[in-house]
Amino acid sequence: MAAMARGERAGLARLIALYGTGIRRYAAQMLSVRSEAEVVAQEVFLRVWTRAHSYDPDKGAVSSWLYRITVNLCIDHNRRCGFRRFVGLDAAPEFEDEMPGVEAQLDGRQRLALAHAAIKALPARQRQAILLKVAGALSTVEIAEALGTSAGATEQLLIRARAALRAHMDLEDG
């Protein structure tokens, strides 16, 4: 961050290499229009570049700061687009697959669709927390900083989200 504050592009390149994939994955799951994830990721790193001087390491890790920006941009982007609900992979067209093992692949797709439906059904804060954990690979403390909550509250969000996901999947397996 200090290198970026001095205007060194190598610092930005390193942040993109470390966090770019996770930020794009998180954004793709949180945005109403999945294909806009790259646009949001670019905006995240543009803001980081222009505001590198305002980063305060005493207030949290770089990853938490990046994901806080990402969370806010996803919320803003969904509001601007007029969407207030999570769409996820449900909006993606299904590909026809005639290869051997189609039944196994279909079963896998059905399980994946159930998992995405379960995630979609979570309350917004639980969904944000679980996606930051999975897509962003953040620790509980980093998620708490990104969401602006305490570590204890974040742990409770994750516990409730996991329990709801398990219950939804068990109900479907029934």
pLDDT tens digits, residue range 115-129?
888 898 999 999 999
Q: How many domains does the chain have?
A: 1
Contacts of 141 (CB under 8 A, 6+ apart): 61, 64, 151, 154
User: Under a CB-based contact definition with an 8 Å cutoff, are residues 52 and 31 in contact?
Assistant: no
Give percent of the chain with pLDDT exceeding 90.
48
Which residue intervals of the chain are DSSP H helices?
2-5, 9-30, 37-50, 62-80, 102-121, 124-134, 140-147, 151-173
Q: What pLDDT is stored for residue 84 in this prediction? A: 47
Residue 169 has a pLDDT of 85
Q: What is the mean pLDDT of residues 68-83?
A: 85
Distances from the Cα of 78 to the Cα of 32, 40, 41, 72, 118, angstroms: 6, 11, 14, 10, 20
pLDDT in tens, 139-160: 999 999 999 999 999 999 999 9
**Given this model, what pLDDT does residue 13 score?**
92
Predicted confidence at residue 105, as pLDDT, reads 75
Q: What is the pLDDT, as a whole number, of residue 174?
A: 62
Matching residue, tokens 């969000």: 157
Per-residue pLDDT tens for 15-52? 999 999 999 999 998 887 888 899 999 999 999 999 99
Domain that holds residue 103: 2-90+99-173
Buried residues in 28-45 as b, exposed as e (16+ CB within 10 A): bbbbbebebbeebbebbb
Residue 90's pLDDT band, with cuts at 50, 70 and 90, is: low
Mean pLDDT of the chain: 85
61 compared with 92, residue with greater pLDDT: 61
Q: What is the pLDDT of residue 94?
A: 57
Helix axes 151-173, 102-121, angle to 10 degrees: 140
What is the reported pLDDT for 48?
Answer: 93
Which range, 32-41, 79-88, 102-111, has the best average confidence (pLDDT)?
Answer: 32-41
| pLDDT at residue number 163 | 94
Q: What is the mean pLDDT of residues 76-99?
A: 60
